[in-house]
Amino acid sequence: MVHRSCRAIRACLTVASIVVPISAAAQQPVAAAQQISPAASQQPAAQAPAVIPVKPPVFNRANELLPAWLRLRGEFRERMEGFDGLGFNSTREDLYWLSRFRFNATVTPSKQLSFQAQVQDARVARKTVGPTAAPFKAAMDLRMAFADVGAASGPVTVRAGRQELVYGEQRLVGHVSWLNAARTFDGVKATFRTKAFAADVFATSVVRILESEFDKSGAGNRFAGVYATTTKLIPLASVEPYVLFKRDVNLRPEAGGLGTLKETTTGVRVAGRLPARLDYGVEMAMQRGSLGTDDISAWAGHWQLRETFPGRTAIRLTSEYNFASGDSDPTDNVRGTFDQLYPTPHDKYGLADQIGWKNVHHARAGFEITPFKGFPVTTNYHSWWLAEEKDAIYNAGSTSLARVATGAADRHVGQEIDFQVSRALTPQIQAAAYAHIVPGAFLKEATPGASYSHPYVMVTYVFLADK
């Protein structure tokens, strides 16, 4: 285990040692070597040699040659990641590669009409522990295909087809693009805009990534809602109320068997600025409904306060608390575990993504500094506790991670310290990070109790971009 962990860290450092010099070299002025000595400055000035601007390859400038109504964009992402202590078991470790290719085409016949399509191919290599299908792998398929009717800034716009849904900080609805095979929905979304507010009304079904056939939605799943935004209610703040409806089939109620989920989530998000360089974010949501013979009664909240200091290094301090209800009694036909719906949960409750927004108290303290322009360095401390001792702790993907059926003797789940740095190596290439979890009393009771480590290095290259 130690040998493999060292190998993972060495691999990350090797990639970083290649990446950083490239970044530094990219920042050097083209004519830095053509400095004039004091003696030479006394001579008559000579015409400086012309500096020929370096253009990207012809292929990357293809959009300059295409008609204005057609735009192409490509993206290749490579990420090396691993773990040591999966399931908090010291014998489960791995180091593997995730590759993803995307290609977009946008056709805009007029300001009132546009079409967009995106194909995606996602692959995983050298993964030997755990699953290797979706979301790690998704063979070439049509990820998005939609039409927009109405001007982008007009009073009404309708989008129909396979599309992403992204709202707020994506704690409940997002594209989860961090995953190799990200999420989309099939359906229709109408956006209404006035000077005072904007509102999306949508009716969709989540797309299931299938191994050997065309990705499909449906199968009893329905996801619809209204999400509004206004900046007129609270000074220097955005207020975002929403109502979301989720339906799914063949889920298991507490009494057993299979039932149909009918769940409504009602909530509001507020994000704004305060005096003394402070900004804040608050989101609260309540869930009601049924699953078969079970009633649903759950809620969750997010509270964050940040301070940004003036100066070149742009130091930022973050304090945050998150709560999501759990199920106090697994036999009373009342489901109290909050459902985080379809989020983008990466780095919301810890960089290792071992904890999700379900049955949890989560405290976070963060520190960010930018020692060089465009080079933010962030470190965070996290600590978690169970909301209900008879319920499980769940990971970012909503899967039960550990449970003590008779009730945990101690609610403290554990702690995480994480570190990450991001850097645009050129205008088109980014990324590295490391997270380490120390198990608390609950994880030591419910699992083998080993620590968990998660390193990754990621590079994204965007080609055929306008800039």
Mean pLDDT across 304-310: 96
Which is higher by pLDDT, 339 or 462? Answer: 339
Residue 146 has pLDDT above 60, yes or no: yes
Q: What is the pLDDT of residue 164?
A: 98
Distance of alpha carbon 431 from alpha carbon 351, whole angstroms = 14
b/e for 140-167, b at 16 or more Cβ within 10 A? Answer: ebebbbbebebeeeeeebebebbbbbeb
Residue 30 has a pLDDT of 34
Q: Is-contact 13 19, C-beta < 8 A?
A: no
In this prediction, residue 63 carries a pLDDT of 86
Tokens 């983008």: give the residue: 344
Assess whether pLDDT exceeds 50 at residue 359: yes
* 8, two tokens: 């993972």
Cβ count within 10 A of residue 411: 18
Mean pLDDT for 50-70 is 71
Higher model confidence: residue 367 or residue 61?
367
pLDDT at 17 (0 to 100):
44
- AA letter at 216: K
Instruction: For 276-288, write each residue's pLDDT tens digit.
Output: 999 999 999 999 9
- The tokens describing 207, both together, are 């797309």
Taking phi over 0 as left and psi of -120 to 50 as alpha, with beta for the rest, 77 belongs to: beta
Name which residue leads in pLDDT, 29 or 118.
Answer: 118
Q: Residue 60: pLDDT band by 50, 70, 90 thresholds?
A: confident
pLDDT at 378: 97
What tens digit of pLDDT does each residue of 312-343 get?
999 999 999 999 999 999 999 999 999 999 99
Position 27 scores a pLDDT of 37
Q: In angstroms, rounded to a whole number, what is the distance separating the alpha carbons of residues 393 and 387?
A: 9
User: 57 pLDDT band (50/70/90 cuts)?
Assistant: low
208 touches 194 (CB < 8 A)? no
pLDDT score recorded for residue 242: 98
Is the pLDDT score of 41 beyond 70?
no
Residue 428's closest CA among 389, 466, 401, 380?
466
pLDDT at 463: 85
With 50 as the cut, is the pLDDT of residue 345 above it?
A: yes
What pLDDT is attached to residue 391? 98
pLDDT reported for residue 212: 84
DSSP string, 110-160: ETTEEEEEEEEEEEEES--SS--STTT-EEEEEEEEEEEES-TTSSEEEEE
pLDDT digits (tens, 9 = 90+) for 88-101: 999 999 999 999 99
**Which amino acid would we find at residue 452?**
Y
Mean local confidence (pLDDT), 334-361: 98
User: Which pLDDT does position 430 carry in this prediction?
Assistant: 78
Percentage, residues of the chain above pLDDT 70 = 86
For 26, phi then psi, to 5°, come to: -65, -20
Give the pLDDT of residue 155. Answer: 97
Output the pLDDT for position 423. Answer: 85
What is the residue-averaged pLDDT of the chain?
89
Taking only the tens place, the pLDDT of each residue in 99-133 is: 999 999 999 999 999 999 999 999 999 999 999 99
The length of the chain, given as a count of residues: 467
Whether pLDDT at 177 is above 50: yes
Greatest mean pLDDT range, 51-65, 117-131, 417-431: 117-131
What band does 62 get if pLDDT is binned at 50, 70 and 90? Answer: confident
Residue 14 pLDDT more than 80? no
Token pair 């490239």 in the structure block, residue: 22
Could you tell me the pLDDT band of residue 84, with boundaries at 50, 70 and 90? very high
Percent of the chain with pLDDT over 90: 80
Is the predicted pLDDT of residue 439 greater than 60, yes or no?
Answer: yes
What span, in angstroms and rounded, lies between the C-alpha atoms of 276 and 218? 49
Query: Could you tell me the pLDDT band of residue 59, with boundaries at 50, 70 and 90?
Result: low
Residue 51 buriedness (CB in 10 A; 0-12 / 13-18 / 19+): exposed
